[in-house]
Structures are given as structure tokens and as C-alpha cells.
Amino acid sequence: MSATDSDPGAPLPSLCVVVVNWNGRGVLADCLGSLERSDYPGLRVVLVDNASSDPSVSYVRSAFPAVEVLVAPENLRWAGGNNLALARLGAEGWPQDQVLLLNNDTVVPAGSLQRLCAALRDEPRAWAATPRIVYADEPSRAWYDGGLVGSWSGWVRHAGIRRVTDRLPVADRFVEYGTGCALLLDRRGLARCGLLDTGYHFYGEDVDYCLRLRAAGGAILHVPRSVILHKVSVTLGAASPLKIYLRSRSHVRLLRRHWPRRRWPILLPAQVCYAGGHLLWHLRHGRPRAALALVAGVLDEWRGRPLRGATVDSGARRMVT
């Protein structure tokens, strides 16, 4: 049953939205304000602050007193911050039917939560659901319209990226992964798969979790009629060397964890072509630091070089300056 076929009289699932924040004071008003205006019945919102140095915590407590604030002792990053909230919800016995992991640099239009949650409720095969995500500064173009994973090539990418949304399908469908920008989970998936893997430093945790969900028997439902606006790359910048370094490290970790050895004769050449193409693109556009960051990320992860908490800050200074 699709969201459009839902019983309008059926009660909506109870919902908790988890928002992880690190020095995001400038985007919180739009994000939390849109949730406050969503009119979702009984909505619970939990903000996890990853030891921000800006006034995020005091602002939220003053401007959005209904939002529960969990303050982490250090920057636990996206996975660790979400895990802090998920562990709290698990200890409470999962009081809400569904949990939405939502980026702080998003805006949720009216009705989107209702459509997304109803679609997951009405599809028994799905343990997770994703909305269509569009660029906040160009809402007519999609940033995410489903996730694609090459089972042999290892290519992981968004479907529909940068395409005009009027030309994209609107029917609900199953996809291979959902982005952590807005990932709705139900109790079944959470009970089977538990917490996110914090071994991914900044990227890949969402794909890893969705692959685990599917391996355990669940499906990922994409709901294009639910739309969320995303202020893309507010945290690290659109194409910073640090972002490229972290993404390439996480991608290698993902491949080693989920692609069996029997696929490697095809996987490795495909990945060499993929990485080589990106490397040449950066060099052609005069971005040698980005090219070096890509290679460094692959080699560091392959060699098992530790990535400590301070690496992000020091790496940003080293690679961006």
C-alpha cells in the first residue's frame, strides 16, 4: 500500500525526531521551527549537541523549550550523536513507533512528516523510509531521490541528483539505501540492527546501516511525495579536501565490510576507474589538494591508520589552507 492509498482515518505512528548538531546555531531556527510548525500529533524532538562552542544549546533551550536537549561531552560526530539519542530511546523501551534521523541543515515542509510516516506504517516489508530531498536554494531540483548501490561495482550514488523534480516519478518504491540526511526507522529495524557504526568518521554510516537492515530482512521505502529541503554541505563546504578525504576513507571501509571477496575481481577495477575519474577531475579543475585528499583517504583506510577525534579539525586546517 502506498502513501496515497493510506487510510485517512488511521492514526499516525508516534514519532521522535533526532537532530544532531555541532556549531549549527545558524541553521537551527529553520530546522526546529519547521518541525514545530509541522502539526504532527504528539511529536517528540530530541537535539543532540556535540559539544558545540557556539550558543546552540542556550538558544534551543530558550527558543524551543519543548525540544529535549542532550549534550555530549565531546564531538561524537553524526553516528555517535545519533547513538546517544537512540540509546536513550532504547533504554526507555522505544516509546515512539518511529524515529527520524534528521540533519540540522534541513527544513521540513508542512505535511511531509505525515506522508512519510504513514507510508512506512502502511508498508509491512519496509523497516525504513526516506523522503525526496531537494536543494533548499533550488527546490525544483532533487538532491536525493533514492539510493543506488552497485552490487558488483561498489558505486554508491543518489538517484535523480540535480534533476528537475517535475520529471521524476512520484510513486513510492523500494531503494537500496536511504541518506542519513532524513532517515526514518521503525522499531523492527532498530531492534534488529541496533546502533550506528561509529567506525565511519563522517560518511557511510547511513549506507552501512541500510545494508544491514536489508541483510536482516527489511526493505527501504522511498516516498517522493514527502519532501525535505536540504542546505547542502553547510558543515564542511561543498567540496572541501577534508570532505573528500573523509568520504574516500568511509567508502573503503564500506566496501571491505559489505562486498564479499568473490566480487572483488570486478569491484577493484571498477573502483580504480571511479577514483581515477574523480582524481583527474580535481586535477583538471586546479584542485591538487582535493586530489591528494582523495588518495590519502583511500590509503589511510586501507592501511588501517587510526583516525582520532582531533583529526577532523587538524585535517581541515592542513588540507584547506
Contacts of 28 (CB under 8 A, 6+ apart): 21, 47, 56, 59, 60, 104
Q: Is the dihedral of CA 178, 307, 50, 48 positive or negative?
A: positive
CA-wise closest residue to 212 among 227, 192, 226:
192
Q: Where in the chain is the domain with CATH 3.90.550.60?
A: 3-230
pLDDT at residue 154 in the model: 85
Give the pLDDT confidence of 41-76 residue by residue, as tens digits. 999 999 999 999 999 999 999 999 999 999 999 999
Which regions of the chain are under pLDDT 50? 1-4, 236-237, 309-321
* DSSP character string of 129-140: EEEEEEETTEEE
d(CA 106, CA 232): 9
pLDDT at residue 7 in the model: 64
In eight-state DSSP terms, residue 177 is: B
Three-point CA angle 225, 205, 222, nearest 5°: 15
Could you tell me which CATH number the domain at 3-230 has?
3.90.550.60
d(CA 101, CA 31): 13
pLDDT at residue 312 in the model: 44
Give the pLDDT confidence of 121-146 residue by residue, as tens digits. 999 999 999 999 999 999 999 999 99
pLDDT at residue 311 in the model: 43
Cα 60 to the center of its chain, rounded Å: 22
pLDDT at residue 278 in the model: 87
